[in-house]
Structure 1
Amino acid sequence: MSRIKYASKNIKYGYLGNLLSLLLKFISRTIFIYTIGVTYLGVNGLYVNILSVLSFAELGIGTAMNYSLYKPVAENDKEKIKALMHLYKYAYRWIALIVTVVGLALIPFLDTIIKESGIISSNELIIYYLIFLFNTTSTYFVVYKYSLVSAEQKNYLQTNIQTITMVITTIVQIIILISLKNFLLYLISAALIELIQKIFVNRYLNKRYPFLLDDVTRKLTKEEKEPIIKNIKALVLHKIGDISVYQTDNILISSFINITTVGLVSNYTLIISAVTSFLNIIFNSLISGFGNLIATENTDKQYELFKVYRFVGFWCYGFASIALITLINPFIELWIGSQMLIGTTVIYLIISDYYLKGHRIVVNNFKVAAGIFDEDKYIGLIQAIVNLVISIILVKKIGLPGIFIGTVIQGLISNMSRPFIVYRKIFGRSGIEYYVDSLFYLCVLIVPLLVLEFMKPIILMNLGISNFVFMIFLVALIPNVFFVLFLRKRKEFKYLLDLIKIRVKGRR
């Protein structure tokens, strides 16, 4: 099966799974807020972040593992695949042990991290935390096997398993929320279902790849281990940067403001994550294909497709950013009420980082597929320091916006530095064209955003479902019309248009 067919299949199943997931998550979140309350929602979001921070113990092994499997999978070298998977199995068992020990050591500090927990007692907070910790550590005994599925460009298998698990879990949790209104049972039900899923996945992948159960007849040589170890060392620093930026915001909000605000922000995060999940299906489905592309095609072909990939990234994330800025607060107000809104300044900061992140995803995915980890290893550390220092200083002075100012500033560091490395290392180019395009894309984005921001207070003066639906229509129409007008002459646009024409003709 070709790269395009694998990507198409991954995207198709990814979208089906996300549509179902999105619908159930909104139903579940609505019921959660009205039955248990926003404080418990804040605890839920905070613990997800804490355990994500603990995943630092993973040290980027997963990313290095996926990259090292591309070649042996392409060559069907089962002996090397077995040797690699054997190595990763024991590495992940050590990770599970480290996460468990560090996670337990954090229990005495929960009262310090969680500010204004209200009716939730310290003992309850510990029990909830232990359930989250169990879910995280048990994952490491199975998750490494998914790397082989990813290397084969069959991400849809993982997507389908996760979708089925999510549907069952959410339905059971909704029943518990409505009938019992009990947060503990809400968490336990998910933990049990996910445990059953992990047992099933382990057996399913053993059956799919029976050679993994055979004795390992060869060990990795020193030369084979060296690039893996080098990449892991570099990815440690990348991991620090990622965690300090995207997994500490809720911890800072809980520690310096209160746990209820974590719950309010999590509603916005849910919406943004739902939109992102749809976009990431496209981008993440192509990573494995890029790994194969880089291994088999020349630099000019790689650069041509990178430009197309980035063009798609701008269009998707640019449009999504405009839609979120324009619609997210009216949607929240219609959905769960005006008391759940956060300030416009915070929204602009969150969406600004979202837009910049869209550009970073394109560059990072291509970088990961090419196995570039060492050259930019210190950027993540710099981002970590900048984010935490600025966020902590500003949250004390201006509150919630200060945390997200730190997030935006650290993101700019990556947006400015990593494209230069990718262009020089992969394409043998200076990277100036990337920054020129970035400025041009930003100008294209601002014009329709200003038009919609001018129209928004007029159309939504008396917010209701009818004028909100009309605003959705305008948001769908205006940015895309402007994008076509400004971008129709670019080579990337013509390439995609030709590709669409070929696919349409092929179906006739």
Structure 2
Amino acid sequence: MGRTKLVAKNITFGYVGQLATALMSFILRTIFIHRLAETLLGVNALYSNILSLLSMAELGIGTALNFSLYAPVAKKDIEKVKSYMQMYRKAYHTIAIVVAVIGLSLTPFLKYLTKNPGDITPRDLTLYYLIFLFNTVSTYFVSYKYSLVNAEQKNYIQTNIITITKIITVFFQIIVLLVIPNFYLYLLTDAAVQLIQKIFVNSYLNKLYPYLADKDVTPLSRDEHDEVWKKTKALVMHKVGDVARLQTDTLIISSFIEVKVAGYVDNYTMVISTISNFVNIIFNSVISGFGNLIATESKEKQYKTFKVYRFFASWVYGFSACGFFIMIQPLIYLWIVRNKGPEWMLSSIAVYFLLTDYYFKGDRIVLSNYKTAAGVFEQDKYLALIQGFVNLVISIVLVQKIGLTGIYVGTVVSGLIANITKPIIIYRVCFDKSSLSYFMDSLKYILTEVSIIAVLYLLSTIVLKNITILSFALMIIIVTVVFNGVFWIIYHKTEEYEYLKGIVLRKLGKA
């Protein structure tokens, strides 16, 4: 199966899975808000965040190994694949132990991270956390095997397994909340289903790739081993910096503002993540395809493909960001605020900074995905550390002066550092070209999108003067038609658009 067909299959299964899980997760969150204390929603968000921080122990070895697998998988070199997977397995088992030890060492400090926990006792805070920790640690004993699936561009296998697991988990959690609204049962239901899934995945992937069970494995050569660790060391810097920049907001909110506010914010991030997951399916599905492209095609072909990828990302991320800017506050009002009270709605300025970072994050995903596929890790290995430091300093200083908005100011400022530096590196290292055209295109896309948002905002003050389901639905239609219509008028004669149009027409059997 060719690159394009595999990407299309990955995207199709990704969308079906995301649609199903998004719908059920939305229902689950709604029931959670009405059946359990709002403080528990904040604790749930905080502990998810802490465990994301602990996942830093993976330190980028997964990315380095995935890159290393592209060539032997393309060449069908089974012996070399076995060698890399053996190394991967040993590394991930070690990581599981490290995460468990670090995670357990944090338990005495949980009370300092949860400001105003309400009626939740220190004992409950600890037990809740240990359930989260078990879920994370056990994942490392299985997840490394997905790298082989993804290197073969069969991401849909992982997507389908995760989708089915999520649907089953949410189904039983909904029953628990409706029948016995208890947070312990809510968490243990998730842990039980996740454990069964991991046992199944281990058995399934061993049958899919029986050579993974072979005991006769040739160790990697010293050069191959050193190459992996060289990339991993560079990725350590990226991982630590990314964690300090992307995974600390909830921790700062819970520690400096109040733990229940972390729950209010999590409602917004859930909505944004749900939509962005739909968007990211497209762009993440092509990483392994890019790895294959880079291994087999000329730099000029790579450059043209990247430009199309970037143009499409600007359109899609621009459209979704525009939708969020206009629609997210009315959505939160209809979903939660009109029943639970105005304290569940964040200030508009904080939300706008959050969404500004979302848009620029779309650009960074494009850049990071291509860098990952190309194995370009070392040239900017200190950049993420700088970003993380800038984010922490600005966020911690400003949260004490201007509250929640200050945290997102730090997120936006630190993120823009990468939006400026990564294109320079990619264009120089991967394409042997100046990055000036990239920044000119960026300015053009941003001006287009800001202008459209300004017009739509004015229209929304009329259409959404009274927020109802009908006016909300009408505004969605207006946003969709206006944004995509204007974007098409401006860019439909570009080379990138023509390339995308050709792909779509071929898929529809019209070309």
The SS at the match of 2:119 is coil
Structure-2 residue corresponding to 1:51: 51
Partner of 2:496 in structure 1?
492
Amino acid at match of 1:390: I
Q: CA deviation at 1:206?
A: 0.4
Residue 462 of structure 1 aligns with an amino acid whose one-letter code is N
1:17-57 Cα deviation digits (max 9, x unpaired): 00001100110000000000321111011001101111111
Equivalent residues in 2 for 1:9-88 (5 A)?
A: 9-88=9-88
Q: Which residues in structure 2 correspond to 1:33-182 (within 5 Å)?
A: 33-182=33-182
Q: Are the counterparts in 2 of residues 96 and 141 from structure 1 also a CA contact under 8 Å?
A: yes
C-alpha RMSD of the superposition: 0.9
State the match for 2:434 in structure 1. Answer: 430
Match of residue 451 from structure 1: 455
CA distance in 2 between counterparts of 1:503 and 1:218 reads: 43
C-alpha distance in 2 between matches for 1:437 and 1:391:
30
| Structure 2 CA distance for aligned equivalents of residues 96 and 409 of structure 1 | 33
Contact 2:50 2:251 in 1 (8 A): yes
Q: Distance in 1 between matches of 2:346 and 2:394?
A: 21
Asked if 2 retains the 8 angstrom alpha-carbon contact of 1:83 and 1:216, the reply is: no
Match of 2:412 among 401, 408, 412: 408
Q: 1:474 aligns with which of 467, 474, 478?
A: 478
Q: Which amino acid aligns with 1:226?
A: D
* Preserved contact between residue 234 and residue 377 of structure 1 (Cα < 8 Å): yes
* 2: CA distance, partners of 1:438 / 1:198: 42
2:386 to 382, 387, 398: 382
- Give 4+ residue runs of structure 1 displaced > 4 Å after superposition: none
3-state secondary structure, aligned to 1:119: coil
- In the alignment, the residues of structure 2 paired with residue 217 and residue 89 of structure 1 have an alpha-carbon distance, to the nearest angstrom, of 13
CA contact (8 A) 1:82 1:216 kept: no
Distance in 2 separating the partners of 1:115 and 1:479: 42
Counterpart CA distance in 1 for 2:413 and 2:157 is 37
User: Where does the alignment leave 5 or more consecutive residues of structure 2 unmatched?
Assistant: none
Structure 1 CA distance for aligned equivalents of residues 53 and 278 of structure 2: 24
The one of 443, 451, 464 equivalent to 1:460 is 464
C-alpha distance in 1 between matches for 2:444 and 2:57: 40
CA distance in 2, matches of 1:241, 1:314: 25
Q: Do the aligned partners of 2:242 and 2:385 also contact (CA within 8 Å) in 1?
A: no
Aligned position for 2:291: 291
Q: Summarize deviations over 1:321-378 as a string: whole Å, max 9, x none.
A: 0000100010111011252210100111011000000000111101100000011101
Letter in 2 for 1:181: P
2:287 and 2:36 map into 1 onto residues whose CA distance is: 40
- The superposition leaves residues 83-103 of structure 1 with CA deviations (integer Å, 9 ceiling, x where unpaired) of 111111111111011000100
Q: 1: CA distance between counterparts of 2:93 and 2:139?
A: 10
| Matched-pair contact (CA < 8 Å) for 2:83–2:219 | yes
User: 1:436-457 CA deviation, whole Å, 9 max, x = no partner?
Assistant: 1100000110111011111112
Partner of 1:372: 376
State the percentage of identical aligned residues.
Answer: 52
Kindly report which structure 2 residues correspond to 1:252-331, keeping only aligned pairs within 5 A, or say none. 252-331=252-331
Aligned to 1:208: 208
> 1:62 and 1:503 mapped to 2: Cα distance?
33
What's the offset of the Cα at 1:506? 5.5
**C-alpha distance in structure 2 between counterparts of 1:217 and 1:432, whole Å:** 48
Q: In 2, distance between residues paired with 1:10 and 1:313?
A: 17
- In 1, the alpha carbon distance for the partners of 2:448 and 2:380 equals 30
Q: Is the 8 A contact 1:56 1:243 kept in 2?
A: yes
CA deviations on 1:106-131 (whole Å, 9 max, x unpaired) are 01110111101001111000000000
Amino acid at match of 1:208: L
SS in 1 for 2:384: helix
TM-score if structure 1 supplies the norm length?
Answer: 0.99
Aligned partners of 1:467, 1:220: CA distance in 2, in Å?
Answer: 62
Deviation at 1:298, TM superposition (A): 0.4
1:126-174 CA distance string (max 9 Å, x none): 0000000000000000000000000000000000001110011000000
Task: For 2:469 and 2:91, locate their aligned partners in 1 and report how far apart those are by CA, in whole Å.
Answer: 53
- C-alpha distance in 2 between matches for 1:118 and 1:159: 38
> Does residue 195 of structure 1 match 2:195?
yes
8 Å CA contact 2:173–2:186 kept in 1: the answer is yes
Residues of 1 paired with 2:381 and 2:279: CA distance?
26
CA distance in 2, matches of 1:490, 1:322: 22
Range moving further from structure 2, 477-486 or 213-222: 213-222
Query: What residue in structure 1 maps to residue 250 of structure 2?
Result: 250
1:417 aligns with 2:442: no
Distance 1:499 1:65 in 2: 31
From 345, 350, 361, the equivalent of 2:349 is: 345
CA contact (8 A) 1:61 1:232 kept: yes
Residue type at the aligned position of 2:133: L
Distance in 1 between residues matched to 2:314 and 2:26, nearest whole Å = 27
Counterpart secondary structure, 1:337: helix
Q: Which residue of 1 aligns with 2:361?
A: 357
The answer to whether the 8 Å contact 1:487/1:493 transfers is yes
Instruction: Give the Cα–Cα distance (whole angstroms) in 1 for the partners of residues 208 and 19 of structure 2.
Output: 28
Distance 2:504 2:162 in 1: 30
Question: What is the one-letter code of the residue matched to 1:444?
Answer: T
The answer as to whether partners of 2:253 and 2:261 remain within 8 angstroms in 1 is yes
CA distance in 1: counterparts of 2:5 and 2:509, whole angstroms: 16
CA contact (8 A) 2:324 2:355 kept: yes
